[in-house]
Structure 1
Amino acid sequence: MTDALPPRATTRQIPRLIQDRRWWLLPVVLWGLLVALSLQMQVTRISEQSVEVALEGARNMFRMVMLARNWNASHGGVYVPVTSQTQPNRYLEHPRRDVTTTDGVALTMINPAYMTRLIGNMSTEDGGVSFHLTSLHPVQPANRADPWEVKSLQAFERGAREATSIEAGPDGPELRYMAPLIVRESCLSCHEKQGYKVGDIRGGLSVSQRHAPIEAASAEAIRQSALAHGAAFMVVVVIGWGLLELLRRRWLELAGKMAELEEAHGQLLQSEKMASIGVLAAGVAHEINNPVGFVGSNLGTLKSYSEEMIALLEACRAGRATEADFAAADFDYLKTDLADLIRESRDGLERVRKIVSDLKDFSRVDQAQWQDADLNAGIECTLNVVWNELKYKAEVVRAYDPSLPRVACLPAQINQVVMNLLVNAAHAIAERGVITVRTGHDAEWVWIEVEDSGSGMPPEVQKHIFDPFYTTKPVGKGTGLGLSISYDIVRKHGGRIEVRSEPGQGSCFRVCLPVRTSSRGE
């Protein structure tokens, strides 16, 4: 959906992204995808961090159990009263496994393995973390490894330091952790007869805990992260949409102003063209009036001569002519004067024809396409068209390069550039001076130079001579668009305009065009 454009604005002036709000959905979608990607990464990180925290807890529990086991082993086992929960360990072969105190209390030895199993049972009954002491070759059947523990113990044999995984449990998913048990010196009192040596892997201790509490903690963090991401998405969308709407309105206003400026610029260009046409019209009219004037005068004289001759012929036919009448008519003079009148009239008409032909070549109204043009011929016809502007101000010196190659261009526009430079050169000369027109070329460029012996320009003026509307002429004497238009035309042709000038030393403008042939049809 688009709003009505401001007066004189066109859709060409406004980018589609700004003009049609539907395009704004594209950055919204991209921003949504970016936020979704960020949320997904955050969710993954939260889940990983929650699991890592739980694993670190399992590691700490493993360390605590190992500290208790090492303390027990360092004391050669500990004695506790025999109860229903602490029955003598029938798998423990020790001469002092069971003892009785002096007051008759029966005690039994709790070795590290038995103590670990008792602690694990208590933890399981408490509904917390459970421990399981196991081995690939257990002495007690209760310590037999389950499939996951078997896989972990085999990994320890290959050098793994720990094993972690989320596995299915009786009450739902469980986070499982397991690390190897390394034989120490204090362990040999019970396990040396099994063939173990210090440093061997005797088995492992697995720690299992329910995964549901971990997921619950992660879910709360994920919910907060989702809310934060959603809020960030909405804030950026609302602010961005508002800024785009503000930009859109400003752009629409600017488009209207630019359209008005283009219209004003077009009117000024038209004024400049009309001013150029005025200069051409005045000069052409003056150049045509002279030959037309004396042709008209000659025709008047020819009419008078013809009337005299017709009257004499009528008199002869009627028989009234006398010798005095023939003597009065100077036929020798008439014969010479008539030839001169006809010759002068033909020269005047030829001058008019040449001016009209040069004017046609100057404008090239019938050839507004790119073509290979003879620049020397174009300069010559331009000189003839503006001759009235030049002949009273300067002597024109022609220094054409006879081997100048033809150049692909719009001839009428190049002629307009030359005309602007010639007229400016004439205006720069206060009294009669010299205007030199040169052409030349090298392997890459052809050039046209218009040099005058006028007043020249200081550096601060040279910086602005190609700026639109800049002029050093009095108010009302120029629009300041001639050199700007010429600059644009030359740039359109892939060329450049160079100028060198010093105050009091005149100026030289060089128009450089690339050497290329064949019409481009642009």
Structure 2
Amino acid sequence: MPRLGAGRQANEQEPPPGNFDQGSESMGKNKFYEFLHASKKRARFFAYFLMAVLAGNLDALVDFFLHPEIAYFDQEHFVVGSIMCLLTIILCTLLESNIQEESFGSHSMSPGMGPYVWFIAAFWAIIVCFSLGWNIVRQKQEVLQVALNEARTIYQKDLVYYRWATENDGVFVPISPKTQPNPYLQHVPEYEATTSLGKSLTLVNPEYMIRQVYEMQTPLSGIHGHITSLDPIRSENAADSWETDALDQFEEGVKEVSSIEDINGEPYLRLMRPLVTEVGCLKCHAAQGYDVDDIRGGISVSVPMSLLFSIYRKDVFMFSLAHAILLGLGLVGIFLGSCRIRQSMLEREQAEAKTRSIIDNMLDGLVTMDQSGNIETLNSAALKMFGYQPAEIVGYNLDRLIEFPESADWIAGKQHDFHFDMKKAMGSQKELTGKRKDGSTFPVQISFSEMVHGMSHLLIITVRDITQEKIRKEEALRTGQLAAIGELAAGVAHEINNPINGIINYAQILMDDHEEKDEADSVHKDIMGRIIKEGERISTIVKNLLSFARQRDEIVERIKLSDIIQDSLSLLMHQLHKDGVQVTVNVPEELPLLKGNPQQLQQVFVNLLTNANYALNEKYPGQNPEKRIEIASAVVRQDGRDFIRTTVSDWGSGISQDVIDHIFDTLFTTKPPGEGTGLGLNISKGLIRDHNGYLSLASTPGEPTVATVDLPVSETPADNGDDE
């Protein structure tokens, strides 16, 4: 369920659909991708082909320059090249797929994913770099371990030779140019010997034998071996600086020393272990003061690292290449995924914006609540209806807006039953009372619905302001009543009009007869005058009823408002003068002309002046200088057109607001029985409305009462001239 916009606008403003920053899209794309996207299809596929060929031959090309001894079409090159070519094809396929999707879809991207994409990409790059570093370190450790194991194996072999020779007190070998008698063994009995055939032999001790083995081994494998001591008998066996340091460590209890060192400019792994004095060693070394189990020196082995380091560098390159491809594929995947996510976000935002626009443009209010009855969101119609801002109402209980029956018990006191009560109201419509922010109330019709999403329940209330609907119903009822009254009035008028005219005429005949006979019977004369007066009053009432009941006269002509005012005053001037009312008229002659029915407009102003005179007589029964009426007219601009506004003001007692609210209602009057019909202002408002004008009344008890008549100016320029 998309949020309804207005309910969350207190904290955030949502952008209009489609109005996204196009610059954010380019931030998420690299230059190469933009180049491919802008290229033609054939050019893109040719670029893909070149990328696949280059990736497939990259390993072979590297070996071609770094290791020319390796054949270009080596089996390893085929395997590695095939894998890299396959990965490149996958990458190109993903790129082309995304390009095709964007070519047929929307190119707008939501800017909201940008920072997260860069964060994810950076995190992925850190992981790949960490993996590369860990693999490089591990590979170097493995290379060093291989060399160390090889050195230990050589050491163990040499030690076995040494012990074998020691256990056998050395060996006798023929004297040759390479094997001369050892001058350091002359003190040993049987230093030399001769075979039965007369061949001369010399004693070779273990150290001498090992040294000769090393001399034969080094040219073949490059491995160096050396038996040394801090106190050598033979000066050539003296320890170098590295061996001296290792021998010193042996004296401290260290069992093995190894490190990478340069020998003649080449890297070697040097390993050295202590050489412990055995019984057989005392023949030569007892004179030096050694005893059994004393450390008298050490055996060092130096393994060349050039080949291993070459393999290590190639492995590092392959690791780097593989991780670079992995990094590239990951970044492409993140980019494509972010494009998909942003596209989905855009589609969702557009759908939400469309839904929000529909909801916010609804005439009915829409309110959503949680299961406790607390308001979560409101649409624009609901906010306008109740007069709140989102921050002022979101989070409050629904009874802040709707006056429920027993609201305090149903909503506040029975929170645990609220959802149950809403369930019972689902699918039904109820007429209740809405409460605005300013404290006013109005009738509303509400309906309940529910949306369930997982474990959450969203309650939705549709609120309709039915004030106008009720007014229309009341007007329809009043119209029916008026139609009935009109029919009754027409019938009564026709039935009464002729008899009352007869009564008036007969009374006038009697009056005239008395005057001709010059009879001075004042009593009879007064009675007949009253009969004529009351008959004329009845005739006026009948006339008003007929005017109310019949169709309006459609005769329209050009009118000068000043003439209407003067004609109305002339009809009432005698009565106004008699009651002591001062009338001030400020109606300029140069006012524009009106279009209308002069009789109807005169009827309106006569009615307003009559009511003003009645109010003044109510406040001042006798003569009083405060009994005054002011009539003023001027041109005003409203609703894009010109109106002549005429005000009729009296200084009577004023009218309360509850009377003002019903002053234009049919048959409503504040006059005593026999003095008012309740039709005058209703008829006047209808006549002004027929002229496309407005009639209003403003008053406060104790203040002047102002009746305002707004009549539209004739729109035809010729109508502003004098009548022909």
Q: Which amino acid aligns with 1:241?
A: F
Partner of 2:364: 271
Q: Which residues in structure 2 correspond to 1:96-135 (within 5 Å)? A: 96-135=190-229
Q: Which amino acid aligns with 1:62?
A: Y
Partner of 2:348: 254
Structure 2 CA distance for aligned equivalents of residues 90 and 412 of structure 1? 107
Change (3 A) 1:146 1:439: same
Change (3 A) 1:439 1:119: same
1:146-169 residue CA offsets vs partner (Å, 9 max, x unmatched): 011000000000000111111221
Partner of 1:174: 268
Structure 1 CA distance for aligned equivalents of residues 307 and 394 of structure 2? 87
Structure 1 CA distance for aligned equivalents of residues 300 and 394 of structure 2? 95
Structure 2 CA distance for aligned equivalents of residues 38 and 250 of structure 1? 32
Assess if the C-alpha contact under 8 Å between 1:416 and 1:486 holds in 2: no
Partner of 1:32: 125
Partner of 1:239: 333
Query: Any gaps of 5 or more consecutive residues in structure 2?
Result: 1-13, 29-108, 368-383, 431-444, 451-457, 463-724
Structure 1 position 101, deviation (Å): 0.3
Change (3 A) 1:134 1:463: farther
Partner of 1:480: 448
Assess if the C-alpha contact under 8 Å between 1:136 and 1:144 holds in 2: yes
Q: Which residues in structure 2 correspond to 1:64-79 (within 5 Å)? A: 64-79=157-172
Assess if the C-alpha contact under 8 Å between 2:171 and 2:204 holds in 1: yes
Structure 1 CA distance for aligned equivalents of residues 461 and 419 of structure 2? 21
Assess if the C-alpha contact under 8 Å between 2:447 and 2:461 holds in 1: no
Assess if the C-alpha contact under 8 Å between 2:448 and 2:460 holds in 1: no
Structure 2 length-normalised TM: 0.40
Q: Which residues in structure 2 correspond to 1:102-251 (within 5 Å)? A: 102-251=196-345
Change (3 A) 1:450 1:88: closer
Greater relative contact order, per chain length (Cα 8 Å cut-off, separation 6+): 1
1:72-112 residue CA offsets vs partner (Å, 9 max, x unmatched): 11111111111111111111231111111010111111111
Structure 1 position 219, deviation (Å): 1.1
Question: Given the alignment, which residue of 60, 79, 89 partners 2:153?
Answer: 60
Structure 1 CA distance for aligned equivalents of residues 312 and 226 of structure 2? 27
Q: Which residues in structure 2 correspond to 1:324-473 (within 5 Å)? A: 410=392, 417-418=399-400, 420-422=402-404, 425=405, 436=406, 438=408, 448=412, 459=420, 462=422, 470-473=426-429
1:332-356 residue CA offsets vs partner (Å, 9 max, x unmatched): xxxxxxxxxxxxxxxxxxxxxxxxx
Structure 2 CA distance for aligned equivalents of residues 411 and 98 of structure 1? 116
Structure 1 position 473, deviation (Å): 3.8
Q: Which amino acid aligns with 2:315?
A: A
Assess if the C-alpha contact under 8 Å between 2:446 and 2:461 holds in 1: no
Structure 1 CA distance for aligned equivalents of residues 314 and 150 of structure 2? 20
Structure 1 CA distance for aligned equivalents of residues 148 and 394 of structure 2? 86
Change (3 A) 1:174 1:463: farther
Change (3 A) 1:50 1:238: same
Root mean square deviation, CA, Å? 4.1
Structure 1 CA distance for aligned equivalents of residues 321 and 397 of structure 2? 70
Structure 1 position 186, deviation (Å): 2.9
Change (3 A) 1:418 1:238: closer
Change (3 A) 1:463 1:58: farther
Question: Given the alignment, which residue of 19, 24, 32 partners 2:110?
Answer: 19
Change (3 A) 1:190 1:464: farther
Does the residue aligned with 2:226 lie in a helix, a strand or coil? strand
Assess if the C-alpha contact under 8 Å between 1:134 and 1:204 holds in 2: yes
Structure 2 CA distance for aligned equivalents of residues 134 and 411 of structure 1? 93
Change (3 A) 1:101 1:480: same
Q: Which amino acid aligns with 2:399?
A: V
Assess if the C-alpha contact under 8 Å between 2:188 and 2:283 holds in 1: no
Structure 1 position 35, deviation (Å): 1.3
Of stretches 229-238 and 94-103 in structure 1, the one that deviates more from structure 2 is 229-238
1:416-442 residue CA offsets vs partner (Å, 9 max, x unmatched): 7355242xx4xxxxxxxxxx45589xx
Q: Which amino acid aligns with 2:448?
A: G
Does the residue aligned with 1:173 lie in a helix, a strand or coil? strand
Structure 1 position 199, deviation (Å): 1.4
Does the residue aligned with 1:176 lie in a helix, a strand or coil? strand
Q: Which amino acid aligns with 1:8?
A: P
Assess if the C-alpha contact under 8 Å between 2:399 and 2:407 holds in 1: no
Partner of 1:286: none
Q: Does 1:47 align with 2:140?
A: yes
Structure 1 position 462, deviation (Å): 4.4
Partner of 1:328: none
Change (3 A) 1:132 1:411: closer
The 4+ residue runs of structure 1 with deviation greater than 4 A are 9-12, 14-18, 362-365, 409-416, 437-440, 447-451, 456-459, 461-465, 481-487
Q: Which amino acid aligns with 1:58?
A: A
Assess if the C-alpha contact under 8 Å between 2:150 and 2:303 holds in 1: no
- Rg (Cα) greater in structure: 2
Structure 1 length-normalised TM: 0.55
Structure 1 position 457, deviation (Å): 9.6
Partner of 1:89: 182
Assess if the C-alpha contact under 8 Å between 2:267 and 2:306 holds in 1: yes
Assess if the C-alpha contact under 8 Å between 1:363 and 1:412 holds in 2: no
Does the residue aligned with 1:91 lie in a helix, a strand or coil? helix
Structure 1 position 192, deviation (Å): 2.6
Change (3 A) 1:484 1:135: same
Q: Which amino acid aligns with 1:184?
A: E
Structure 2 CA distance for aligned equivalents of residues 27 and 273 of structure 1? 39
Change (3 A) 1:95 1:259: same
Q: Which amino acid aligns with 1:417?
A: D
Structure 1 CA distance for aligned equivalents of residues 319 and 168 of structure 2? 52
Q: Which amino acid aligns with 1:83?
A: S
Does the residue aligned with 1:480 lie in a helix, a strand or coil? strand
Assess if the C-alpha contact under 8 Å between 1:364 and 1:411 holds in 2: no
Change (3 A) 1:438 1:162: closer
